[in-house]
């Protein structure tokens, strides 16, 4: 293939990856920013979203787009409910101690993974795309659904930003992030905010999974890669910084797309990890992080 179309394909693939990565990583960044919890189980909420999408898709009658819309609404709610329960039953009781929550979320990772294996099974199962729109370029074909993934991810990220910046719920979250004791003194129910933020983070991962699952498939081990890449994005962007997370997701997603198309996917992962290491050495607070 010639260089031009080759680069075009690389950029298109990279943009899809960046969009989904941004959604997943923003969830992780929110949880860390507000709660100071490193959620190792974040990838499993992604998986939970995908697996639930399969259940919804196989039980909602009618055209694929109806099932897809139902999944887009239901899956984040399911993942969010599981996350809120985990927060109330486990994390709260550990008093959000950083070390203990890491261990607890590792445990949560295994519980969710094994639960999916028991209830859903070991197969990778497909979820039909809401529509089929093959894009026929002169050099190669591409799935038009991927364009929708990018647009939907951008729209959802916009909504998240609006909520954080303009709504009362966002104000309460930001207040809790700045100082939870003062927030509590002002009558904010911090426990409820934490449960809500943990649920929101999980819900974002689940939405990302619903978007991606017609391209990939739902599988109980699929949470691994999104977790690693989200961590890379959050560390590069600056822990808890949403703007940094978005920029870093674009950088990682596009560079991954381009490097893996032109050279090798393994090299792309090496580069991403190397960037994380360099950022940790030279700018530990991340590109946009305010605090170390």
Partner 1 sequence: MTLSTPFQPTRRSVLGGLAAGGALALSPARFASAQSAAPIRLGFQLHRTGIGAAYGRWYERTTQAALKVLNEAGGINGRPVEVIFEDDGTDPRRGAEVVEKLATQAGCDLIFGALFSHVVVGSAPRAGELKIPYLVCSEGFHVASGTLNRWTLQPGITDVRAQVSSMAPWVTQNLGRKVTMLFPDYAFGHDHRDYFSAALKAQGGEILELVPIPPTETSFTRYFPRIPAATEVLYHVMVGPAVLSFVKELGEFYAGGGRPQIFGFIDSLEAVDTASPGLEFLEGTHFWEGHCRMRQADASEHEDFYRAAVGVDANGASVADARDVSTYAHMFSCWETLFVIRDAMVAAGYQGPADRQRLVEAVEAMTTMPLSREHVQGDKVFNGRTHQVFGHQYISRVEGGKLVRVHATAIEDSLYPDAVDYTAMAF
Binding site for partner 1 (CB under 8 A): 1, 5-6, 9-10, 13, 17, 117, 121-124, 126, 128-129, 132, 134-143, 215-217, 219, 221-222, 225, 257, 260-261, 265-266
Which residue from 22, 27, 13, 19 is spatially nearest to 206, judged by alpha carbons? 27
Burial class (CB in 10 A: 0-12, 13-18, 19+), 59: exposed
Q: List 135's β-bridge partners, or say none.
A: 142
Q: Comparing C-alpha atoms, which of 110, 92, 109 is closest to residue 100?
A: 92
d(CA 33, CA 17): 23
Q: Which one, 183 or 259, has the nearer CB to partner 1?
A: 259
Instruction: In angstroms, give the least distance from the CB of 3 to partner 1.
Output: 10
In angstroms, give the least distance from the CB of 48 to partner 1. 16
- Minimum distance, C-beta of residue 33 to partner 1, in the bound complex (Å): 28
Q: Would you say 83 or 116 has its CB closer to partner 1?
A: 116
| C-beta of residue 94 within 8 angstroms of C-beta of residue 101 | yes
Compare residues 107 and 144 and give the one whose CB is closer to partner 1.
144
Give the C-alpha separation, 117 to 113, whole Å: 6
For residue 64, count CB atoms less than 10 angstroms from its CB and return exposed for 0-12, middle for 13-18, buried for 19 or more.
Answer: middle
Minimum CB separation of residue 13 from partner 1 in Å reads 5
For partner 1, give the closer residue by CB, 136 or 168: 136
Q: How far is the CB of 201 from partner 1 (least distance, A)?
A: 22
Burial of 166 by CB count in 10 Å (0-12 exposed, 13-18 middle, 19+ buried)?
exposed
Identify which of residues 97 and 123 has a Cβ nearer to partner 1 in the complex. 123
Closest to partner 1 by CB, 37 vs 116, is 116
**Minimum gap (Å) between residue 229 Cβ and partner 1:** 12
d(CA 88, CA 106): 16
């Amino acid at each position: 293939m010639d260089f031009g179309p080759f680069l075009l394909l690389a950029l298109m693939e990279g943009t899809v990856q960046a969009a989904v990565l941004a959604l997943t990583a923003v969830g992780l960044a929110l949880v860390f920013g507000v709660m100071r919890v490193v959620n190792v189980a974040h990838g499993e909420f992604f998986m939970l979203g995908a697996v639930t999408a399969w259940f919804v898709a196989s039980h909602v009658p009618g055209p694929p787009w109806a099932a897809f819309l139902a999944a887009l609404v239901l899956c984040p709610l399911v993942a969010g409910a599981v996350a809120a329960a985990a927060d109330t039953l486990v994390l709260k009781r550990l008093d959000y101690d950083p070390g203990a929550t890491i261990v607890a979320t590792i445990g949560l990772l295994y519980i969710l993974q094994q639960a999916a294996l028991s209830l859903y099974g070991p197969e990778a199962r497909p979820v039909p795309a809401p529509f089929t729109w093959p894009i026929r370029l002169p050099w190669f074909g591409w799935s038009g659904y991927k364009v929708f993934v990018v647009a939907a991810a951008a729209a959802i990220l916009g909504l998240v930003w609006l909520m954080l910046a303009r709504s009362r719920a966002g104000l309460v979250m930001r207040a809790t992030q700045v100082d939870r004791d003062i927030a509590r003194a002002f009558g904010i129910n911090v426990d409820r905010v934490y449960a809500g933020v943990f649920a929101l983070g999980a819900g974002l991962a689940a939405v990302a999974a619903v978007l991606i699952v017609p391209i990939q498939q739902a599988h109980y081990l699929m949470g691994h890669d999104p977790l690693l890449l989200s961590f890379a994005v959050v560390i590069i962007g600056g822990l808890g910084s949403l703007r940094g997370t978005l920029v870093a997701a674009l950088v990682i997603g596009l560079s991954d797309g381009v490097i893996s198309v032109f050279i090798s996917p393994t090299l792309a992962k090496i580069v991403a990890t190397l960037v994380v290491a360099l950022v940790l050495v030279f700018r530990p607070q991340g590109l946009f992080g305010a605090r170390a």
